[in-house]
Structure 1
Amino acid sequence: MYNSKTPSLADLPSSRQLLRSTVIAAIVAAALLVAVVLPAEYGKDLTGMGRVLGLTEMGEIKTALAREAAADAAASARQREQPVASAPVASSQPVTASAAPPVVAQAPVPASVPGWRDELGFTLAPGQGIEIKLVMKEGEKARYAWKVEGGVVNYDTHGDGSGRSISYVKGRGLAADEGELVAAFTGNHGWFWRNRGKEDVRLVLRTAGQYSELKRPM
């Protein structure tokens, strides 16, 4: 056992000293909040130090990404699943955005490029989005490739069904993507694209593999 010396009352800080330390700590915390946290997290630079340290730009990027994710999530939540016509003929349906013109998309047809099963093309006006889903069973695999003409898009590859949902990957400002989509559970798995540019863009999606249906939710 080690014996430690019990401090005397004279060695202990006084109430005034404790109060002073508390006030100083509170002032330092407030200064860090205003000069560092607000610029870095929310893009609000009240003192100008955030801009000097490069923190304000970081916060503005985070805020913009958060708004973008919220807008895309809200758009996806409002949409309802509806099968796309399977006949190899052209059709058009309005999609998304209240004030923007409708998205015109052709019905899925056998792909013109060898090795692909279906091909779907559509035009997105500025601010418009569209969602395409593959009906898949758990563990099934589908190949895909999409390409944008005339600009770039933001996208979210995700799935839902049987009370479950999943986000596989998200991207911003891309002109093309390709790969393999593996269904995490039985349900609908696919993509949501949005045109955040100032000009119309044309997007072509090609798919192949294990899926029973290609769907375009409303």
Structure 2
Amino acid sequence: MQDISNMNREGLPSSKSLFKATGVAAVIGSVVLVTTILPAEYGIDPTGLGQTMGLTVLSQANAAESAQPESESASSGNLLALPAGPVWKTPEGLSSDSTTVTLGPNEGLEVKATMAEGDRMVFNWTTEGGPVNFDMHGERFNDGDNFTSYWRGRDQPSASGAFEAPFDGTHGWYWENRGEVAVTVVLNTSGFYNDIIKK
């Protein structure tokens, strides 16, 4: 067995420098613990730096996730990261309508749905007899002749899509037949609105 008492200690740190390095490491570790780990993991932020750096949000997310039932957390995967969630909820009942209008040559007509801000619907319309020009737009209640146009088209035989009302009012379509024969427009809507109005 080698006797280490007679080994050359040249180049090795002294006991004093080892204690000093250990102390510095402990101070740095304590600073990291107080300023980052505690705010991020547990929401404890005695210095206020965690909130400034946005770390306390992490502890809130962890708390919200742990509050979810285990089955819900496991089955929903990354959907928990969505702040509003994937489901849009409403107390209103679902409406579904099929509306038919006939436009003579050079005639136009509006069909609108009364909707509250945030209400949603899906729609599909097709024509029989020829294409039409259209303007999908909305009008606020009691706002005179002002309107907001969402989608315009020329010589179109059909259109489909989904719509979310940006404000309370009436929202829908103005169709115009620029042809020489009558055109029938069949509109199918389904969603959350109060009624369908022909103008």
TM-score by length of 1: 0.45
Larger radius of gyration: 2
If asked which structure has higher relative contact order (CA below 8 Å, sep 6+), I would say 2
TM-score by length of 2: 0.49
